[in-house]
Amino acid sequence: MPLYICPAVAVDKVIVLSPESFSIPLAGGNGEVQIMPPSAHTGIAAVNTRLISAQCRSGQVHLVVAAYCN
């Protein structure tokens, strides 16, 4: 019965996003956009997130998922 309510997942990892800004290229390849660190009521801080996936796919946070993907 539990598998009907909460099926097993291939990947279930907590990922901490560090409070650092970074830049990524724009889709058209013309320039880049600066991503600022999250800052809410408590100021700039790391953000805890969770990667949950029923299937392990390439490109999923490579350092965390590498041990789980074949």
Residues in the chain: 70
- In sequence order, the β-bridge partners of residue 24 are 33
The pLDDT score that the predictor gives to residue 34 is: 93
The widest CA-to-CA distance across the chain, in whole angstroms, is: 52
Q: Is the pLDDT of residue 1 over 50?
A: no
Arithmetic mean of pLDDT, 22-35: 89
In order, the DSSP letters of 7-41 are ---SEEEEEEEPS--EEEE-TTSS-EEEEPPPEET
Query: Mean pLDDT: which of 9-18, 30-39, 49-58 is highest?
Result: 30-39
Q: What is the rounded CA–CA span in Å between residue 70 and residue 66?
A: 8
- The confidence score (pLDDT) of residue 31 equals 92
